[in-house]
Structure formats: C-alpha cells, structure tokens
A and B are shown apart, each in its own frame.
Chain A
Amino acid sequence: MTDLTAPVSAPARKRRSNLQLLMANRLAAAGLFIFGFIVILALLAPILPIPNPDITDQPNRLLPPLSEGHLLGTDHLGRDILSRLIWGTQVSLLVGVSATALAAFFGSLIGLVAGYVRGATDSILMRFVDMLMAFPYILLAIAIVAALGPGLLNALYAIALVNIPFFARNIRGVTVSIRNREFVDAARLSGKSHAAVLFTEVLPNVLPVIVITMSTTVGWMILETAGLSFLGLGAQPPTSDLGSMLGQARAQLFTAPHASIIPGVMIFLLVMSINLLGDGVRDVLDPRLRSGTLGRPMPVTKIKRETKPASTIEDAPALFVENLSTGFDTGGSITPAVNEISFRLDKGECLGLIGESGSGKSVTALSLMGLVASPPGIITNGGVYIQGQDVLSLREQDLIALRGARVAYVFQDPLTTLHPLFSVADQIAEAVLAHNPIGKRAARQRAVELMETVGIRDASGRASAYPHELSGGQRQRIGIAMALANDPDIIIADEPTTALDVTVQARILELLQKLRRERGLALLLITHDFGVVAQVCDRVAVMKNGEIVEQGETQTILRAPQHDYTKRLIACVPELGEGHSFLDRVRPLFSEAKA
C-alpha cells in the first residue's frame, strides 16, 4: 500500500480488442456475418451475373421461384425478383444508412451543444427537439413527404428529421453528465477554449454513445424508409427499394405470395442482423455491461465451500466467524476478496473492522448474511455462526428469515440505501411486518415509536416523509430505526457515518453507543477511520488484502500495535493539536520508499 512509486501492474493493459469481444458474442457474430453477406451482395450488384432489374417481360410474369433463368421467380411485370432484390437492398441500405448518418450528425451536434452550453441555448434547442418529439413517431415524416411530394430523397430527409430528437436527447444527457466531470474544468484551466473542450475532451467520451445509438437505430431507419416506400410515398418507379417491391407485390398477394414474401423476408433479415450486431456493439462499448456487473443479483450469495464446517457449535458467542473466504467470479477464475478470516463478537460488544479501500472489510460484512451481490460474488469457504448455528448451511428461506430479525444491517449512504418511492415509516413498518405479522396499523405505530427512539423530532409528522425530504443525518437515523425494528441481537454497520459531516457523525455514533448499551446489542462496525474505532469500539480487527492482520482490545492496539501495517496505519492518522509536527513525524515512514 505504501509504495506508490512502484510501477503499475501490467495485466490491465492486456485486454481483448473490441473486435475480439464482439466476435466472442455468438449472436453478434452471427449478425455481423449475415449483415456482411447482405452488404457485399448489394455492393456487388453491378458486377453480378443477374438480369437488368427493370426489364419487363409480360409473358413470363409471376413465375414461381426456382423457375428457369429466374431463381426467385418474376414479379407482376415479369421482372427478375432476385435481381430486383439485390438492387433494392442496395437502395434500402443506402437510404437507411444515410438517414442514420444525417440524424446522428445533426442530432449529436444539437445534443453536444445544448448539453455543454446549458442555459438559454439549451432551453431553446431542447424545446425545439421536444416539439419534434411531440409528433407521434412517423406522422411528422408523413406531413413532410406530403408537403415535399413523394420520393426517395424526400422520404430520407423526413426520416432523418424525425429521428434527430432521439439522438439529440440521448447525446445531451451524456454530455451533461460528462460536462459535470472534473476533467472538463481541468481542461479549461489548462487553457483550452470552450470549443476545444467540447470537441477534444467531451466528444471522445460521447462518441461511444453516438456509435451505440447509431447501431441501434440503423435497423429502425431502414424499416421506416421501407415503410414509406411500401405506402408508395418513398421510392418512385423506376427506382425501387425493398419497401416499394413489397408494396407493389401486395396486389398479387393471393395469387403470387412469393413476390411479397421475398422482399419482406429480406427486410426482416437485414434489420435483424443489424439489431444483433447493434446489441453486440452496445455490449462491447458500454463499460458497465463490459465489466459484467449487469447480472441480476440473487437473493443469497452463491455458496460453494470447499469443506463444509460443523453446522452448529457449542458455547458460541453472538457471532462467530471461522475461516470465511469470499471471492468474485471473473469468468472462469475466482478473485479472492476475503481470505480465511476468523473473528468473534460477544453479546453487547462492539467490534471494529478497520481497513483501507480494497481490504475486504465491506465484503466481509455483506458475506455474513449472504448479501454479497452474486453474480459475481461467491463464498468459497468457512462458517458464520449466529448463536452457534452456521447460517451458511441454512436453507435459503431460513437465512432470509434471520436477516433483519436476529442480524440487522445499517449501510453507508442512506440516500441510496433507502427506497426512494416509499415513505420512511412504511419502510420501517415493512421491516417489522417481514418478521412479525402484527397488522399494518400496529406496524406503522411501531415505526413511529422507533423513529422517536432514534431521536427524530416530530416523528409522527415525519412518518409520511420520503427519504429525499430528509437530511443525511435524519436518513441515517431512519436506517438505524429500520435495523432496530425486530430487536436484533447483532447490528452490522457498514461505514454508517462516512457520508455524513463530522458534527452529524458525532451524533449518529452517540446514538449507536446509547442503543448498544440500552439493548445489549452486539455491534460490528466497519470503518476506515481509526478515530471512530477509538471512540466506540471495545475491540478492533485490522484488515489488509482480505486478511485480518491483527485483532485485540482497542486501547491495546492503539497504544502498542504489533503488526507493521497497523503501526503504519495508526501513525498516518493526524491528530488534532499535533499541527505541523505530524508531517515531521510521518516523513521518516516514507523516506525509504523514496530512496
């Protein structure tokens, strides 16, 4: 942890290229293959040995497929369907891709400028976009074609125009979020003009979204232009695209269905291959999907232990953890996060679990009740004994029944950990009802009592408030009230005060201390702050790289840490009143690293 100067580890660089990732997705690869085949066929139309698509041959009209000289038969004017199909595909592709390019260019430009400049420009541009969006889907296109007159080019403009809002909105959203990132301000301070910031700093970050949006809308635009042609408003004879082929063949639907079905299937294949490819492209470029975190977390962490420990033990404390190991499944191999850790927590005791980021302290806390998101989380070893019973050996619903009843959690950021759409009293009442079916009214009464217990003034008045209407400190009090709902034996508090200001933190810690003493609660406190540990914990366990390097009485460890890591960690905490001497004191700790 100390040697910042060591070279960065290399494995991150050896990532698979985007194309490799795309090809690894079988559906996307299939899409690419079909799409590529269609594109090549369409491009080769001038040199393929196919008849002229516009030569009519009345005697040979409506020939079925596999007729001599006409592989796919002929249409109502005796024209060769295969030839028309290939040429028509070329037109459809060209129009769809051009419309997408136009919509993407103008839409992205509007979105970029509106999102970056904000203010009045943003309002005006986006009101304009809203107006365009206020038309149902393709009706505006119809109005434009009506005004300009039917024709392929007019249809193209119309389709491009009605899709501009879609790009503008998407791109604006992303631009706004990137504009608020600090590197944009930093680039300004590095001397870049607004235009330079927009096009050299923001645009590169927005580009993947533009590509994703394009790849997911090309298919749609091909469908829309084909639709206009189908209605006779797009391609006009002698030009024909897939849509107009279908439109013209419709009259002979009952006598010669193949003339309709062939172009229809072609449109379907083309659009489907593009959609498959588009989804693949999105998966590759979207970093969230890429890291594989979009999996749906299961109710209980996957448990796959090498050895099964005894399911019960005698004379157990409130909580006893033995050789617990948890890792993350990274496609094939398991990256350990917590490694063979053991600790105990007695009734009424407070144990601090302290460590720096990445030490595995939060994963430990979540593992105890199987709350590590899974996939990718997986508990690979060990036992967690609550009152002597290994909870990891329990059936899923029995483990769930323990949550919130015997063991309750308080999480870090109360804004994201409370449900935004339910009132706070409902959320507390729900916790009561989950284990104790006393009826809605009684549960709500209990919720208000609990809110009073945790020191919320005017509890009955605040009961119907939503989380966003409360301050950070009050929200965390709600979180604590929820944890107390069923008089648990153990509360696991995962960085409960990290998101709060110091003055609020002091009051929340006070509250936790008071509750612990009054109710004889066992408290497992996860934190990165030695000050917090010193203030509330009886004992402390120091974690590093998924292991507990040292544990013992808080005072003993603070006064005489044994392990080098603990020593250094404690030494690095500045104390109020120490002033400049702090820096002189820690300087020797790092001098060897610099040498």
Chain B
Amino acid sequence: MTNAIQIRDLVKTFGGGRSLFGRKANEVQAVRGISLDLKRGETLGIVGESGSGKSTLARMLVGLEHPTSGTMLIDNKPWADLAASGSRAFGRTIQYVFQDPVASLNPRKTIGDILDVPLRLLCSYDSTKRALRKRELIDAVQMPLDTLERYPHEFSGGQAQRIAIARALAAEASILVLDEPVSALDVSVQAQMLLLLQQLRDDLALSYIFISHDLAVVESISDRVAVMYLGEVVETGPAAKLFANPQHDYTRSLIASAPRLSATDSAA
C-alpha cells in the first residue's frame, strides 16, 4: 500500500523578510521540520493547542501556503509539481474542510452555485452531469434537495459543515484535510458529523488528515495520531496506544488536562 501523503522535514517560517531599512523583521517558525505519512484509506489525527502549527501544516498540504523547506508527496505527486501547475492540480488531488463552516461558504452565492464550481473547473462535467452530481452530493451528506437553491445564511453550523463537506467531495479528490471540522459545533451535532465523516471515508475510500484540539474526538475517529507542540511532532502512534500509554511529557499533560465525565476530581 502506498502512502497518500508523505511529508519529509517540512519547515515553514513566517516573517523574516527585510524591512526598508534592512532590519530583520521578527521570524516565527510555525512548523519546524515535520515528517509524517498518511496511508491510503487511513485517518491520521493531528492534535495540538493553539500555536502548535497544525493549521499551517494543513494549509501547506493543500497549497494555500508555500513551505520554506522540505518535501511533500501528495498522491505520489511532488508538491512542487502541483504548485507549478496551479490551483486546479491541487484541487483534484486534495481537498480541505475548514473550521468555521459558515465563513467557508460565500454568503452571496446559492449552495448550487458553490457546488457547481469544482464540478465545472476540476471535473469538467457538462451541465447535465453537474446537475446530477450535485443531487448525489447533497444526498451523500444527508441534506434535503432544496438545499441547492438556498443561501448559506439559511443554515445552521452543522448543516453548513455538511455542505462544505459536499463541496470538498465534489472535487473527487481522494484525500481530505479536515481542519477542526467539528470544533465549532454543538456536541450532538458533532457526534453526527463524526459518523458522517466515518461513513463517507469507508464508502468513498478516502484518506483523512483530521486536525483537532479535542483528544477524545481525535481518538474516536483516527487510526493513528500525531501530537504537535510548538511546530514539531513530538509523538506519533496508533490512536488507542498513544492515549493509553503516552511517551512524551506534553502528551501526558494534554491527557491530564482534558476534562472527563467520569468524576475523578482531578482538580482537588
């Protein structure tokens, strides 16, 4: 089985350019030499707190940011080749689901218009085929058909996230980067969303990178988990094993901090 994504020694530095007077601006190392693999059909969970560099990593994977150094193979294609051939090459290979579902839908377009774009530009379908696919996609994310004529503001957060997932699926890419896809949602909606994601992955043979700050959520859906801290991956391993037997101090403190239902009054 080949890897869906292979990342080697990835570094991303922000700032550091020179100002007008030759002074060096503050440099921020968001990602400091990450190496990771995502197997086909697998869900790789990435956990970390704010500032850990997990979102920067995600944005680089889909070509929204340029890495400072390091290599990435996405679906066996070198990242640089994808970048050279433009955004469409990325869009056909890998898709992204954003944290804030409402902000990820243009408020002035109907859902039908939004879904139309990837079908037209990435899949080059004719209008009949597009209409058919749109109905299939809406059905796949369990939304009613009249969704297509509506505007984003008419939907709740959970519904909007389903639509955003439908858009990502429309590109027919086999790899999805899910950046905190359930963090903005209420728990009951969150559980439904996780079920949907799981089902879609199995039905459509997708590979996921699933980013979240919530350990329990990551554990429930991931096969393997990578823990990020200050731009580095401090620990990776199979989900169950990693949380049961953490090796790194940071992972341990994360697990200790996570609030639990079972009352072990840890604060005392």
Contacts and interface: CB of A to CB of B under 8 A. Distances in A.
Mutual binders A and B: yes
Interface in B115-172: 117-118, 120-122, 142-144, 146, 150, 153-159, 162, 164, 167-168, 170-171
Contact of B187 (A356, A502, A536, A554): A356
B49 interface: yes
Interface in B50-102: 50, 59, 62-64, 86-88, 90-92, 95-96, 98-100
Interface in A1-22: 1-2, 4-5, 7-8, 12-13
Interface in A519-534: 528-532, 534
Contacts of A187: 106, 117
B104 interface: yes
Contact of A191 (B108, B117, B253, B266): B117
Given A2-B188, A503-B49, A189 B258 contact: no
Contact of A572 (B164, B190, B198): B190
Contacts of B256: 506
Contact of B267 (A8, A536, A569): A536
A570 B187 CA distance: 9
Given A4-B158, A189-B87, A357-B186, A510 B267 contact: yes
B154 to A, nearest CB: 5
A536 B263 CA distance: 9
Given A204-B108, A531-B259, A575-B261, A190 B122 contact: yes
Interface in A65-122: none
Interface of B is mostly: helix
B221 interface: yes
Contact of A534 (B100, B121, B262): B262
B143 A5 contact: yes
B240 A503 contact: no
Contacts of B267: 506, 509-510, 513, 535-536
Interface residues of A, number: 64
B220 A190 contact: no
A15 to B, nearest CB: 11
Given A4-B189, A189-B62, A182 B98 contact: yes
B171 A583 contact: no
Q: Summarize A's interface: helix, strand, loop or mixed.
A: helix
B104 A186 contact: yes
A590 B195 CA distance: 9
A530 B50 CA distance: 22
A190 B198 contact: no
Interface in B195-251: 195, 198, 213-217, 219-221, 239-240, 243-244
A354 to B, nearest CB: 10
Contact of B194 (A5, A528, A577, A583): A583
B216 A574 contact: yes
Contacts of A5: 142-144
Contacts of A580: 220-221, 239
A49 interface: no
A188 B219 contact: no
Nearest to A185: B64
Interface of A: 1-2, 4-5, 7-8, 12-13, 181-183, 185-193, 201, 204-205, 356-357, 501-503, 505-506, 509-510, 513, 528-532, 534-536, 554-555, 558, 568-580, 582-583, 586-587, 589-590, 594
5 contacts: A188-B87, A190-B91, A191-B120, A574-B220, A576-B260
